[in-house]
Amino acid sequence: MTKKARQETDATDLKFEEAMAQLEAVVRKLEAGDVPLEESLEAFEKGVSLVRVLHTRLDAVQEKIEELTRAEGEVRTKPLNGE
């Protein structure tokens, strides 16, 4: 198994909140800018993997919410910011 595939598999085993916390840690590490290039690349790859997993989970949740809120064949959704 490649390193990338292993990272994605590891990320899919995490709870949403755990994956988000790991992503935040990766971002802090990269923003600090005091890590070697190779380590930065590994952190970036892990971050991309975590973003993909989080995005997939959010899409699944959105689909479930839309399924639960269907009324007469229409989906009634509102923006989260109340607009």
Domain covering 3-75 in this structure, CATH number? 1.10.287
Give pLDDT tens digits for 63-80: 888 888 776 666 666 666
User: Rounded mean pLDDT of the chain?
Assistant: 84
Q: How far apart are CA 16 and CA 75, in angstroms?
A: 25
What residues form DSSP beta bridges with 71?
A: 74
How large is the average pLDDT for residues 23-47? 95
Sequence-distant contacts of 39-42: CB under 8 A, at least 24 apart:
42/3
Give me the residue spans of the domains in the chain: 3-75
Q: What amino acid is encoded at 36 in this protein?
A: P
Indicate whether 45 pLDDT > 70: yes
What pLDDT does residue 65 have? Answer: 84
Report field, pTM of the whole predicted structure over 0.85: no
